[in-house]
Amino acid sequence: MQSAKLLGVIFQSTFSFVDHVDYVLKICSQRTCTCIYLLKQLRDQGLPLQKLHTVFQAIVLSRLMYALLTWGPLLNVELVHKIDGFLKRSFRYGFTNKLITIQLLLHSATEDMFCKMKSSNHCLHPLLPQDRTLN
């Protein structure tokens, strides 16, 4: 078996995520094409850029962000460029209010996860090292 899809993430036997990234970008591109008309109509009707960004995030970025902490750290340079190219085109089309990169999304997801893990009632909290106090 070369690859398996588990909870929406395509795992390859080589621990490469080429198939997953290609699949996600295909879905995101289809969603972008489908929602271009919607986004253009909303923009032409005077919807502020921040609201357009929210719609884009709900329709497209949410799919890209799904399980990012699982596959994101294992991306090679080629895949990073492929994803960043898609995000750059989305910015040029005016669907986002700032240029987003996959590294920025991964950093944000990592920070969010560790902030949640710091809560004592989080299931992963016991796996964190003990806090050190400086004397």
pLDDT in tens, 9-20: 787 777 777 787
- Taking residue 44's Cβ as centre, other Cβ atoms within 10 Å add up to 8
- 52 domain-assigned: yes
Look up the domain containing 104 and give its range.
Answer: 3-127
Name the pTM for this structure. Answer: 0.74
25 within 8 A of 86, measured Cβ to Cβ: yes
pLDDT of residue 32: 65
The confidence score (pLDDT) of residue 45 equals 87
Residue closest to 13 by CA, chosen among 21, 1, 24? 1
Residue type, 31: R
For the chain, what is the domain count? 1
Residues of the chain with pLDDT under 70: 1, 31-36, 134-135
**Is the residue at 132 inside a domain?**
no
Neighbours of 47 (CB within 10 A): 14
Any domain includes 68: yes
Tell me, what's the pLDDT at 101? 92
- Answer whether residue 134 is part of any domain: no
